[in-house]
Structure 1
């Protein structure tokens, strides 16, 4: 199972959740403060909503959710080390334990993650600050707010 991930910044999380529930005929798979994700079967899509006032209607980041750690490794090998900007083994991000790597679309400055969810988590970005920074940092900040650029679970 692989599916594209679209992570969006939204101004009003409840209004956006209601809209996307109706649009895709699906209820959220996970709800947490400032965060909602949908695991949509048709079309295969992981839709992630980050409440980020003033940034609504913008892309947070893009990704590909894959079935397991082996698929993450296969993607990383295919992409090649020159494009992989960050590897995160067993990181906690967006209320999930994940195995992932990030690449940057240098022509257009878009960030993509390729990840597999290992398990659910009670915390957004792990217990220690280093894990939170690694998960949720964007190119302009070493420790950005979680809604800036993060991940899905």
Structure 2
């Protein structure tokens, strides 16, 4: 079963941890000095926050596959839909080792599709130069990400 993934950049990690812990009714599954992650089961959600962005707001969306087979299915769907797909392969980011690739929606929003292989003790262990723009924690260079935070309005 897959899990929806959202990564949000925040200014105040502790205030955001307190807010989201109340909202989800659970403490984060992982907390670091610059990062926190909840693995919510209802709804199935991998929700991460970090202070590594250039401004607050949604950094990227994604789908976390539980197995390599699910990841292969997601990739096949993206290829069948003729979506621009950037294969990253096995990499490290957000305190995890993952197999991943990126697709970009028509509005330019980056979608990470990945299978987590294990945990690591640091945010990233990039063996090559970092491939991310300053505004995105994990997205490949040149992918427009970062959904601006708009002031609250009276409608959805």
Which protein is richer in helix relative to its size? 1
Pick closer, same or farther for the CA change 1:101–1:76 going to 2, 3 Å. Answer: same
TM superposition shift of 1:53: 7.0
Which ranges of 4 or more aligned residues in structure 1 deviate by more than 2 Å?
127-130
TM superposition shift of 1:52: 4.6
Match of 1:141 in 2: none
Match of 1:51 in 2: 51
CA distance in 1, matches of 2:42, 2:126: 35
Tell me the number of residue pairs that the alignment of Structure 1 and Structure 2 aligns.
138
CA distance in 2, matches of 1:71, 1:12: 35
Match of 1:126 in 2: 125
TM superposition shift of 1:123: 2.2
Q: What is the TM-score of this pair, normalised by structure 2? A: 0.80
Q: What is the TM-score of this pair, normalised by structure 1? A: 0.82
Q: Which runs of 5+ in 2 are unaligned?
A: 140-156
TM superposition shift of 1:85: 3.0
Q: Deviations over 1:110-140 (max 9, x none)?
A: 000111100001121115243xx23xx13xx
- The answer (yes or no) to whether the contact 1:11–1:52 under 8 Å persists in 2 is no
CA distance in 2, matches of 1:90, 1:49: 22
1:7-46 equivalent positions in 2, closer than 5 A: 7-46=7-46
CA distance in 2, matches of 1:122, 1:76: 28
Larger Rg: 2
Match of 1:83 in 2: 83
Q: Which runs of 5+ in 1 are unaligned?
A: 139-143
Match of 2:65 in 1: 66
CA distance in 2, matches of 1:53, 1:76: 27
Q: Deviations over 1:75-122 (max 9, x none)?
A: 1011107424311221111110101110011x2110001111000011
What SS does the aligned partner of 1:80 have?
A: helix
TM superposition shift of 1:20: 0.3
TM superposition shift of 1:32: 1.6
Please tell me whether residue 150 in structure 1 is matched to residue 150 in structure 2.
no
